[in-house]
Chains A and B, each alone.
Chain A
Amino acid sequence: MLTIAGRKFRSRLFGGTGKFSSPEVMKEALAASGCEMVTVALRRVDLNNPADDIMSVLDRDRYLFLPNTSGARDAGEAIRLARLARASGGGEWLKLEVTPDPRTLLPDPIETFKATEELVREGFKVLPYINADPILALRLQDAGAVAVMPLGSPIGTNQGVLTRFQIEIIIAQAQVPVIVDAGLGAPSHVAEAMEMGADAVLVNTAIAVAGDPVRMARAFAMAVEAGRIAYEAGLGAVSKDAAPSSPEDGLGFLR
């Protein structure tokens, strides 16, 4: 079973709560996904529409809220958002995102690292969203991050696991769980990530904007499970040597 910072998760699919057409659809889709942790964002209350609290439809006993710091452009802003999230009853869990470039929303490794160091000191359970950089992943792990969240491809692009080579290295090296996040646009993409040995995946847009989000959530849940089982069962490798060598080829020197 997946364990992050001492907490156990039966499902290896984490959900997002953004971009759904209504709170009711979100609630039903998250239920269909089987996920136990959902990301949430922090925003100013709309004073013209103050009663619009879509998060109230979610059962906090069923879903662990993972507040993110979306919108933060540097470490200082991310830390401020993190403290607000904790004050909002978000607990210590935090998906740290620092995205200074509004065009790509790619994460800033330096600011992310600085913020991780500070937030770990303040007792947060930090899950940093990062580009798929293996050394950065290890540095964040050493700084106290409880998991790392490398991106499969830029957020919202639905391009799947373009960073496959680096994510393989991160999975091979990291001691903390590896959660592939962003760019996973189809169940086949999450199956691929899970087959590679990712500990979990996070999917939001692909479910929220599907024609039928509830059925799509189920499809993602099945793909995550299939990929995980395939990983545990041990995939057959793609053969590289087409011609088998003769049994003693090149070993004539042995005595």
Chain B
Amino acid sequence: MKVFCNGEAQEIAPGMLVADYITQLGLDASSVVVECDGKILTREEYGSHALQDGSVLELIRFVGGG
């Protein structure tokens, strides 16, 4: 199935959990925040929230800024 992450279409396994998706991208879950279909997920939800076909994801983290 297809999800849209940070503006890019990505092919992933059906029913994948957010936690697994983050790991697959090579990210440390503690350093990113996930907004899925307009809703901000808490860290605890990463392990239980399954992605849907067509889900729109935003992966955000702190970067340098003034």
**Further pairs besides A44-B58, A50-B26, A55-B61: 4, Cβ < 8 Å:** A18-B63, A40-B63, A83-B40, A208-B66
B60 lies within 8 A of A18 (CB): no
The reply to whether the CB of A221 lies closer than 8 angstroms to some CB of chain B is no
Q: Tell me the nearest residue of chain B to A203, going by C-beta.
A: B66
A47-B5, A84-B40 given; A42·B60 CB < 8 A: yes
Contact B62 A90 (CB under 8 A): yes
Q: List 6 A-B contacts (CB under 8 A).
A: A20-B64, A41-B64, A41-B65, A42-B62, A45-B59, A50-B25
A residues lining the B interface (CB < 8 Å): 16-20, 26, 39-45, 47, 50-51, 53-56, 65, 67-68, 70, 83-85, 87-90, 155, 202, 204-205, 208
**Distance to closest chain B CB from A113 (angstroms):** 22
Q: B residues touching A (Cβ–Cβ < 8 Å)? A: 5-8, 25-28, 30-33, 35, 40-42, 58-66
Asked if A18 meets B66 with Cβ closer than 8 Å, knowing A42-B60, A44-B58, A47-B25, the reply is yes
Q: How distant is A205 from chain B, measured CB to nearest CB, in Å? A: 6
B62:A47 contact, CB within 8 angstroms: no
Question: Which one, B7, B40, B65, contacts A70 given CB within 8 A?
Answer: B65
Q: Could you say which residues of chain A place their CB within 8 Å of the CB of B63? A: 17-18, 40-43, 54-55
Are A55's CB and B31's CB within 8 A? yes
Q: Which of B7, B25, B31, B63 has the most CB of A within 10 A?
A: B63
Decide: A19 near B60, CB < 8 A? Known: A51-B26, A55-B31, A88-B33. no
Note all chain A residues with C-beta closer than 8 A to B42.
87
Q: Is chain A's interface secondary structure helix, strand, loop, or mixed overall? A: mixed
Residue numbers in B under 8 Å from A26 (CB-CB): 64
A45/B64 contact (C-beta < 8 A), A51-B26, A83-B40, A87-B42 known: no
- In chain B, what residue has the closest Cβ to A65? B62
Contact yes or no, A40 B64, CB < 8 A = yes
Cβ of A18: which chain B residues have Cβ within 8 Å of it? 63-66
User: Does B62 contact A45, Cβ atoms closer than 8 Å?
Assistant: no
**A87 and B8 contacting across the interface, CB-CB below 8 Å:** no
Q: Write out the residue numbers on chain A whose beta carbons fall within 8 Å of the beta carbon of B27.
A: 45, 50-51
Question: Given A42-B61, A44-B6, A50-B25, A87 and B66 touching (CB < 8 A)?
Answer: no
**Residues of chain B within 8 A of A56, CB atoms compared:** 31
Shortest B34–chain A CB gap in Å is 8
Residues of the B chain whose Cβ atoms lie less than 8 Å from the Cβ of A204: 65-66
